[in-house]
Amino acid sequence: MALYPLPTAIILNRITPFTCRFFPKPLSSSLFSAAAVSAATTATLPQHLSYGPSLYKGHKSSHQNSDEENFTRVFDITALRVPAEQCFSLESKLRGHLLNWPRIRNIARVAGDDIDDELKEFIGNDISTDDETLTVLERRIYGKGEGDGERMCSVLYRDKLAKTFNSIGYVKFENLAKISRPKKKKWKREEKEGNGSVRRGYGRSDMSMVEVVEEEGSGDEDFRGLLGDDFRTRKWSGSTRLLLLDERYANKGIEEMPEAIKAVLKEHNEESTRLSFEIVRCKLTLLYNYWQMNEVLEVLLPQGMIVPSAFETVGHIAHLNLRDEHFPYKKLIAKVVLDKNKPKIQTVVNKTDVIHNDYRTMQLEVLAGNHSLVTTVVENGLYFDVDLAAVYWNSRLATERQRLLSCFTNNDVVCDVFAGVGPIAIAAAKKVKYVYANDLNPNAVEYLERNCVRNKLERKIEIFNMDGRRFIDSIFASEKARPITQVVMNLPNDAAEFLDSFRGIFRNKHADKQFTLPRIHVYGFSKAQDPEFDFHEKIRIALSEVAFEVQMHKVRLVAPGKWMLCASFVLPEIVAFAK
């Protein structure tokens, strides 16, 4: 049987009640354009769907003109129409029976549920005839009280009249100043929906929309047997709200409601001769913006594929590390990540290769959004300008940087051998006495200088652009340099290999002088079964020394079986004065 091409993106199509199929589509410029899929993949829906909304539940909207609308789901629910001033008290009493879906309020507003503020004083809460209404107006015009008809004093009457009428409705009254009060500004934004329009804030948001289903005869349902003979004849003339009932009560009448709901309705009906409640059927439409990133990707990606849900954030850039199996869908994944994290995320990139150059820069591919990789990162109150195409930055090490800074005191002088754009050096400069920062990458040094000025710490940092070994030799051999107490070597791939530069750094110093042996913090990777022992051995071999104490700290698991560690130790005296 021939298969006809679908005009929409990869979407969920129901074949059986518990089976869905993903169809491939050719490359296009639509929202969810992706690499062509070689064959249709069949996915089996879960037999027992959990409580709450799901893209596997509900039914699709009849109006679908874009790829985003393929994720629109419509759910039938039942709601209780109540007076606006009673909705919050009823909400607490009906707790457990109201809709409890994430990001959906169980008190909804629809068009026409409010009356103008100017009419509330005239309508009131009681049923009144035309004659009664005229009597009320006459009393107000001539300053009579509402009850016994006694005339009010002019001061109280002016105050009452000022609160009752607007500038258009004032009557002629001697010595009464006309107060021109502007009408309350209501934020209105008309959005076209089908053949009509829906006001923002009345049943519709960028995530969901509530509509009352108009059914013939729905208003003639007789509740007199439950709530009294005169229940049906009363009508609430004020503002109303909808209390969305739990999904298990969808399409059920008042007789099928639980006793708790019936009791609340009957209680309020007996307390007031004016309150009126209605059971109405509604449509709750969940739009594309409602669904979380993992929910959308779970539908779009083939069954069994791991859904990428985590990424690193660098300013406005989302940095993905996609698996090989994700590459055919990388544009699709990036678009969803961009949509679900706006406006914070404006660019989505993926690392295409491991870091193997001396400058530690990453090979990045822009998958979605703008192509600017220059961004600003705010970390612990400090601002860092970063160009991910030219320098290295890792936001996931923010906690480790804070831990390292806690080891410093205000009397320390810090030497950062591989400073980069300055996340450690600049943060340390706020706490310690002085900082010497170095990096081999000229682009990183340029941004380091810029970040020092931006954070007003340029007087406490001296910057160098040279090889790590040469920097260590020159800074410890300098007579002008301050005595260094802390050394940071954050280059996990190669930092341990630079430790031999510390052999003999004090050999040309006078033996009778007092020297402070620096404390060294060196980072490294290890794939060994015992990573601490393995990294300790690398340090011992680099320094050609065995008997010295090293404190190990596991920073993070960067890959399966691969640990990033930080080793801290005081440089042994025998190493510092070695010939």
Phi and psi, residue 57, nearest 5°: -115, 175
By C-alpha distance, which of 136, 142, 137, 134 is closest to 172?
142
Q: Going by C-beta distance under 8 Å and a sequence separation of 6 or more, which residues neighbour residue 395?
A: 312, 313, 314, 377, 379
Report the C-alpha gap between 402 and 57 in whole angstroms. Answer: 46
3 state SS of 324? helix
Q: Going by C-beta distance under 8 Å and a sequence separation of 6 or more, which residues neighbour residue 377?
A: 314, 315, 383, 384, 386, 393, 395
Q: In this structure, how many other beta carbons lie within 10 angstroms of the beta carbon of residue 450?
A: 16
- The pLDDT value given to residue 91: 87
3 state SS of 224? helix
Hey, where are the domains in the chain? 12-70+291-369, 73-113+202-286, 395-576
Determine if residue 125 is labeled as part of a ligand binding site. Answer: no
Residue with tokens 């990606």: 301
Question: Which CATH number applies to 12-70+291-369: 3.40.50.1100, 3.30.470.20, 3.30.300.110, 3.20.20.60?
Answer: 3.30.300.110
Report the C-alpha gap between 355 and 441 in whole angstroms. Answer: 14
Tell me which H or E stretch contains 558: strand 551-559
pTM of the model: 0.70
- The pLDDT value given to residue 146: 52
Phi and psi, residue 392, nearest 5°: -105, 140
Q: What is the mean pLDDT of each run of 10 residues along the chain (579 residues)?
A: 38 34 37 36 48 78 68 91 85 89 90 66 49 55 54 67 56 46 46 44 72 59 48 59 91 83 76 68 92 91 89 93 91 93 93 78 90 94 95 94 96 96 96 96 96 96 95 91 94 92 85 81 95 94 87 93 96 89
Determine if residue 468 is labeled as part of a ligand binding site. Answer: yes
Can you name the residues that pair with 19 across neighbouring β-strands? 16, 44
- The pLDDT value given to residue 84: 86
Determine if residue 490 is labeled as part of a ligand binding site. Answer: yes
By C-alpha distance, which of 87, 518, 9 is closest to 264?
87
DSSP 499: G
- The pLDDT value given to residue 456: 96
Determine if residue 439 is labeled as part of a ligand binding site. Answer: yes
- The pLDDT value given to residue 172: 47
Domain 395-576: give its CATH code: 3.40.50.150
**The 3-state secondary structure of 249-318, one letter per residue:** HCCCCHHHCCHHHHHHHHHHHHHCCCCCCEEEEEEEEECHHHCCHHHHHHHHCCCCCCCCCCCEEECCEE
Determine if residue 27 is labeled as part of a ligand binding site. Answer: no
Report the C-alpha gap between 443 and 445 in whole angstroms. Answer: 5
Geometric angle at alpha carbon 344, from 294 and 303, rounded to 5°: 15
Can you name the residues that pair with 199 across neighbouring β-strands? 190
Q: Going by C-beta distance under 8 Å and a sequence separation of 6 or more, which residues neighbour residue 568?
A: 407, 519, 520, 521, 522, 550, 551, 553
